[in-house]
Structures are given as C-alpha cells and as structure tokens.
Amino acid sequence: MTLFLAASLLSPHVGLIFWTLLVFGLLLFILGKFAWKPMVSALDEREHTIEESLTRAERALEEARQMQAHNESARRDAERQAQITLREAREAADQLRGEEVDKTKAQLAQMQEQARAEIEREKTQALAALRAEVADLAIGAAEKILHANLDDDRQRGLVNEFLNDLPQN
C-alpha cells in the first residue's frame, strides 16, 4: 500500500495539475495585488537608502582626505615657521653674544687704558719724587763738597736747572 500511495503521488493527474495551477495563480494574484508592491517599494527604498549612505560615505571620505591634506599642509607650515623662529633665535643669540664680546673687549680696552694712565701718572709722580730726592741728595753732597752754606731755595733752583738739562729717561 505504501508503494501504491507513493506511485500515485508521482504520477501526473490532470485534476491535481489543474488545482495546483489554479491555487498557484490565485496566490500570485493575491501576492501581486497586496504584497508585491509593498515589497518592491521597500526594496526600492532600501536601495535608495543604501545609495544615499554610499554617497554620504564618499563625501565624508573626500572631506576626510581634504582635512588630512589641510592638516598636513598646516603641519608643514608650522614646522617651517618653527625652523624660522629657531633660526631667528639662534641669530639673535649669536648677535647678543657678539655684542657681549664686543662690550667686554671695550671694557677691557678701557680698563687697560685706565691702567696705562694710572701707571703713567704713578711713573710721573715717582719721577718727581725721585727728582726731589736726587735734588736733596745732590744738595747735601754739594754742601759737603763746598762746605759752603747756600740758601735752600737757591740750591733747589740750581739742582732743578741741572735736572732739566739732563735727558728725560
């Protein structure tokens, strides 16, 4: 019996085909009338949403690329500006260092000149003191040699005249 039932299901019957086609056609008509349009519109709407999303994504990607290029340009400009600032700072430091060196040299030269002037002044004072001492010694020696007593002002005048006649070494 199972064999007969299985054979009857596999053999084509006109009535079964007719009713199958009728039910299938009715199903297609109902689906076409009520379900097909909403499904197609939902698919169209989904397709449109996907296209908009892709368009927005492409725009966002392009904006990101532009921002990246702008940021790269700004970074390069900032690096260039930093290098310029660093170079200017080095030049200013070198200039300041040079000015300080020049100022120090000028101070040293001034100190040397003051030292020379001080030495010259002390030399002049020492020579004047030495002349006075030599004059006193010469007067004392001349007094002992001559055993004569001349007045003090006259003796000094004679010694100063003698010293002025000597070379200035």
Q: pLDDT per residue over 113-140, tens digit each?
A: 998 999 999 888 888 888 787 777 777 6
Task: Tell me, yes or no, whether 37 lies in a domain.
Answer: no
Task: Tell me, yes or no, whether 57 lies in a domain.
Answer: yes
Q: Which domain holds residue 142?
A: 43-165
pLDDT at 78 over 60: yes
Q: What is the pLDDT of residue 39?
A: 84
Q: What is the pLDDT of residue 123?
A: 87
Higher pLDDT, 24 or 9: 24
Question: Taking residues 70-96, what's their average pLDDT?
Answer: 92
pLDDT at 21 over 70: yes
In which element (H, E) is residue 162 found? helix 152-165
- CA dist 135 and 163 (Å) reads 8
Total-model pTM? 0.40
pLDDT tier at 32 (50, 70, 90 boundaries)? confident
- How many structural domains does the chain have? 1
- Angle, to 10 degrees, between the axis of helix 37-146 and the axis of helix 152-165? 120
Task: Tell me, yes or no, whether 13 lies in a domain.
Answer: no
Q: What is the pLDDT of residue 7?
A: 56
Task: Tell me, yes or no, whether 19 lies in a domain.
Answer: no
pLDDT > 90: what percent of the chain?
Answer: 44
Task: Tell me, yes or no, whether 149 lies in a domain.
Answer: yes
- Is residue 162 a contact partner of residue 138, using CB atoms and an 8 Å limit? yes
Task: Tell me, yes or no, whether 15 lies in a domain.
Answer: no
Task: Tell me, yes or no, whether 129 lies in a domain.
Answer: yes
Q: What is the pLDDT of residue 162?
A: 74
Task: Tell me, yes or no, whether 12 lies in a domain.
Answer: no
- CA dist 136 and 139 (Å) reads 5
pLDDT tier at 95 (50, 70, 90 boundaries)? very high
